[in-house]
Amino acid sequence: MKQRTIFSNATILTVDPDDRVVDAVAVEGDRIVAVGALDETRSALPDANLVDLEGRTMIPGFVDAHSHLIMSGELGTLNVDLNSPPIGSVLSIEDVITRLSARARSTPAGDWIIGQGYDDTLIAENRHPTRADLDRVSQQHPVLARHISGHFAAANSRALEIAEIGPDTPSPAGGVIRKDASGAPDGVLEESAMFSVMVRVPKRSRDQRFGAITHAATAYARQGITTAQNGFTLGYELEDLDAAIAEGRVPIRVVAWPGLGVMRQLESGAISVGTSADRLTVGAVKLFADGSIQGYTGHLCSPYHIPFKGQREYRGYAAMSREELARQVDEIYAAGRQVAVHVNGDAAIDDFLFAVDAAQRRHPGRDQRPIAVHAQMTREDQLDEMQRLGVVPSFFTLHTYYWGDRHREIFLGPERAARISPARSALERGMRMTIHTDAPVVPMTPLLLMWSAVNRQTTSGKTLGAEQCLTAPQALRAMTIDAAWQLQLDESRGSIEVGKFADFAVLDANPLADPSAIRDIGVLSTYVGGERV
Ligand SMILES: [Zn+2]
């Protein structure tokens, strides 16, 4: 017989269309069967077990609008953590070298040493580590240090040699191999240039890979997330997720976004997913239109505030031409799939809107919900166009906390920084939008994300663009029902309503009560399909 449970004595924020607040919810098996007052739920399920939530707050489990589950697990288990405060403790290039050297001493010569999360603008020297720095870590091991944005990496001589990158190697399309004064690669690889090294890193063992997935999924569950996202999923990663879920090693639901190559393999049947769609969904196909603003590779329409290396006209660059982006988006539409494109700068957003407009003309009549991932520099006229085309912006709102001060002072200047991630402007048009952490770019902390969207406070305590602050109910919606809607999964999750999965988070305080205190709220328990995970 199916398990029958009534959760009661709680402030239950249903996030249903009326934002109803109730005090009991009845669950049979993995589904919600009644929502309301205790006596109503009791008459629906007379013989159910009663779980007394002792006056706590229950919300729908958070739906992760965009992050990288597997990469988050790698940071927690396999890669050396190079983050600076407030996330980690690396303060200088010397710290980077020390951390990586410690790993090298316990790693057989020839094996790769991978670091993750350094931030050139937060370390004392204000620069990326170079080949020379990383050669001090080891000459016997290939060493790769990945930037916090995920858009840069620094390699030592051994790693460059393995990737066959030398003085005569030209920069690839959509990337830059940085060179020193003598013309030799200085080790820093921008955007697509980084992949020529990354593809040489051997796949980790099955145990390591599955361990990383379980580690991240457990950490997400602890934060109240019941549906996680894995942006830009490689073919073997999709197969890993499928197998790890089948083996019961993943306590939450997962949505994987394949790249275009993996989409083609799925279309041809070269890759398939066996796990039930309740646990693993293959979602939108992920493309990249530009890089990262804090790395000076976000593609802007007007120049950066403090010019990059003195170049006054420099505006970052596109990951591919507008025509190529349109061709790829068209291929995805033709396959009947949803598309999600990484866009940070307003020039990249222009390219994306051009591509979506063209694809919709050729394939009219479908509700594709194309996703603008990050959408940080979206202008008002671009919001109008997004609304016309049915594009869903997913804002990287936590940037206002972690990078807000530097956006104002270094990258964008006060005006553009104040309206970064214009979530309020989108809602005022009646659009639906979501907010995300992009973990492991920043840690998976949904309540800090919610607090940030409501307060837009930077790490120095200043407010960045008060006009774009959300109310707490708006922010909660963007992380639950609207995130589920963006993922085309709102029929089954995202709110506490009859017929949906019994996916909940129980909090030690009501996040709608005090906007300034949201970040201090703790997650007491997380339920997926009615089971406490
Ligand atoms: Zn991402």
What pLDDT, on a 0 to 100 scale, did the predictor assign at position 277? 84
pLDDT band at 346 (very low <50, low <70, confident <90, very high): very high
Q: Whole-angstrom Cα distance, residue 441 to residue 439?
A: 5
Q: Are 35 and 496 in contact (CB under 8 A)?
A: yes
- pLDDT above 70 covers a percentage of the chain that reads 100
Q: Are 33 and 479 in contact (CB under 8 A)?
A: no
Distance (Å) from CA 434 to ligand 1 centroid: 14
Asked if residue 185 has a cis previous peptide bond (ω within 30° of 0), the answer is: no
> pLDDT for 243-274, tens place per residue?
999 999 999 999 999 999 999 999 999 999 98
Distance (Å) from CA 487 to ligand 1 centroid: 15
> pLDDT for 321-343, tens place per residue?
999 999 999 999 999 999 999 99
Q: How crowded is the C-beta side of 192, counted as CA atoms within 13 Å?
A: 14
Distance (Å) from CA 272 to ligand 1 centroid: 23
Q: Are 261 and 195 in contact (CB under 8 A)?
A: no
Distance (Å) from CA 7 to ligand 1 centroid: 35
Distance (Å) from CA 109 to ligand 1 centroid: 32
Distance (Å) from CA 438 to ligand 1 centroid: 5
Q: Whole-angstrom Cα distance, residue 174 to residue 47?
A: 62
Assigned token pair, 353: 């809107």
Distance (Å) from CA 66 to ligand 1 centroid: 6
Q: Are 289 and 319 in contact (CB under 8 A)?
A: yes
Which of these ranges, 273-282, 296-305, 317-326, 449-458, has the smallest mean pLDDT? 273-282
In the predicted structure, residue 524 carries a pLDDT above the cut 80:
yes
Distance (Å) from CA 265 to ligand 1 centroid: 22
Which residue, among 63, 14, 60, has the nearest Cα to 487 in the 3D structure?
Answer: 63
Provide the residue type at 482 as one letter: D
Stretch 129-138: mean pLDDT = 97
What pLDDT, on a 0 to 100 scale, did the predictor assign at position 55? 96
What pLDDT, on a 0 to 100 scale, did the predictor assign at position 367? 85
Q: Are 11 and 510 in contact (CB under 8 A)?
A: yes
Distance (Å) from CA 231 to ligand 1 centroid: 6
Assigned token pair, 234: 């490689």
> pLDDT for 187-221, tens place per residue?
999 999 998 999 999 999 999 999 999 999 999 99
Which single residue is written with the structure tokens 């909660």? 476
Distance (Å) from CA 11 to ligand 1 centroid: 33
Provide the residue type at 164 as one letter: E
pLDDT band at 101 (very low <50, low <70, confident <90, very high): very high
Kindly state the DSSP code that residue 376 receives in the 8-state scheme.
Answer: T
DSSP line for 502-521: --EEEESS-TTT-GGGGGGP
Distance (Å) from CA 425 to ligand 1 centroid: 23
Which residue, among 118, 8, 109, has the nearest Cα to 52 in the 3D structure?
Answer: 8
Q: Whole-angstrom Cα distance, residue 359 to residue 270?
A: 26
What pLDDT, on a 0 to 100 scale, did the predictor assign at position 137? 97
Assigned token pair, 377: 């520099």
Q: Dihedral (C-alpha) 392, 376, 88, 187: value to the nearest 10 degrees?
A: 110
Q: Are 53 and 7 in contact (CB under 8 A)?
A: yes
Distance (Å) from CA 393 to ligand 1 centroid: 14
What pLDDT, on a 0 to 100 scale, did the predictor assign at position 1? 76
Distance (Å) from CA 38 to ligand 1 centroid: 42
- pLDDT above 90 covers a percentage of the chain that reads 96
Distance (Å) from CA 55 to ligand 1 centroid: 37
Q: Are 423 and 517 in contact (CB under 8 A)?
A: no
Which residue, among 444, 16, 412, 488, has the nearest Cα to 224 in the 3D structure?
Answer: 444
In the predicted structure, residue 276 carries a pLDDT above the cut 90:
no
Kindly state the DSSP code that residue 314 receives in the 8-state scheme.
Answer: -
Distance (Å) from CA 192 to ligand 1 centroid: 15
> pLDDT for 216-237, tens place per residue?
999 999 999 999 999 999 999 9
The predicted model scores a pTM of 0.95
Q: How far is CA 417 from CA 41, 146, 148, 410, 436, in A?
A: 48, 25, 20, 10, 18
Q: How far is CA 319 from CA 36, 116, 173, in A?
A: 50, 22, 8
Distance (Å) from CA 193 to ligand 1 centroid: 18
Residue 235 CA to its chain's centroid (Å):
19
Residue 13, H or E segment: strand 4-13
Distance (Å) from CA 288 to ligand 1 centroid: 10
Which single residue is written with the structure tokens 């010569």? 109
Distance (Å) from CA 343 to ligand 1 centroid: 10
Q: Are 100 and 113 in contact (CB under 8 A)?
A: yes
Distance (Å) from CA 108 to ligand 1 centroid: 32
Distance (Å) from CA 34 to ligand 1 centroid: 37
Distance (Å) from CA 52 to ligand 1 centroid: 38
Distance (Å) from CA 229 to ligand 1 centroid: 10
What pLDDT, on a 0 to 100 scale, did the predictor assign at position 365? 85
Q: How far is CA 310 from CA 2, 104, 303, in A?
A: 67, 37, 11
Distance (Å) from CA 374 to ligand 1 centroid: 8
Stretch 401-416: mean pLDDT = 96
Distance (Å) from CA 149 to ligand 1 centroid: 9
Assigned token pair, 227: 């549906």
Distance (Å) from CA 215 to ligand 1 centroid: 19
Q: What is the average pLDDT score of the chain? A: 96
Stretch 145-161: mean pLDDT = 95
